[in-house]
Amino acid sequence: MQAIAETLFDIVYLTSVITIGIIMVVKSKGNREYRLFGIMSIVLGAGDSFHLIPRALALCTSGLENFTTALGIGKLITSITMTVFYIILYYVWRIRYKINGQNSLTVVIYLLSALRIILCLLPQNEWLSAEAPLSWSIYRNLPFALLGHLIILLFYKSAKECGDTQFKYMWLTIVLSFGFYIPVVLWADTIPMVGMLMIPKTCAYVWTILIGFHAMRKDTAK
């Protein structure tokens, strides 16, 4: 039952975010913000597919223990694409709120992103092992959490100051995504049911994408 339910959920999720992303790129009409948002949505779906598709195959066939290598590689790719996701979201923020300068902020964004990716690529993560060390899961997620925290603050502050009703909950979607993700990082290996938090975490990302999609539809309908 879990295999069927989880697989159907993943199919709907991946199809939805990639389709929305393509629509946004095609219909952005030269609007850089919405074109970037569309690319961001495609990156999200394409990156997650490297992990979710092998997981679905494992659940529906011989089990997760027989797909350790594919799942490990998928997790590595997803970790990197999620970092790229937040870099793109940062530029969406800059374009939407007409941010000029602030080069030091951009440097911090790139430093945190680079640190996250470098940590992900180190062999100590043991991506291909069924017993990957928890310590390295924490190490590589520390700069990622700081990156997310920074993006949360930027969107919260700018949306409030500009009275941006369309993006007023963007910060909250990111808070929820990290709120559901962090317990999975810390306890999923010892308490498997905690892994179910990835479903609401995924829903939070879908909410992020829908905010941009609805904003584009409203703006292009004018």
Q: Per-residue pLDDT averaged across 213-218, rounded? A: 92
pLDDT digits (tens, 9 = 90+) for 132-160: 898 999 999 999 999 999 999 999 999 99
Instruction: Select the more confidently predicted residue: 222 or 17.
Output: 17
Give the integer Cα–Cα distance in Å for 79 and 120. Answer: 7
pLDDT classification of 221: cutoffs 50, 70, 90: low
Instruction: Look at the block and give the residue holding tokens 């291909």.
Output: 128
Least confident range of 61-65, 110-114, 145-149, 171-175: 61-65
Do residues 172 and 200 touch, judged by C-beta distance below 8 A?
Answer: no
The residues, ordered by sequence, that sit 6+ positions from 216 with a Cβ below 8 Å of its Cβ are 24, 27, 28, 31, 34, 37
Give the integer Cα–Cα distance in Å for 192 and 132. Answer: 15
Give the integer Cα–Cα distance in Å for 124 and 188. Answer: 19
Q: Per-residue pLDDT averaged across 56-62, rounded? A: 84
pLDDT classification of 61: cutoffs 50, 70, 90: confident
The residues, ordered by sequence, that sit 6+ positions from 94 with a Cβ below 8 Å of its Cβ are none
Least confident range of 67-71, 101-105, 120-124, 168-172: 67-71
In the prediction, which pLDDT does 59 show? 81
Region of residue 63 (left: phi > 0; alpha: psi -120 to 50; beta: else): left
Structural domains of the chain, with CATH: 2-220 (1.20.1070.10)
The residues, ordered by sequence, that sit 6+ positions from 171 with a Cβ below 8 Å of its Cβ are 152, 153, 155, 156, 159
Give the integer Cα–Cα distance in Å for 92 and 21. Answer: 14
Give the integer Cα–Cα distance in Å for 149 and 46. Answer: 24
pTM equals 0.94
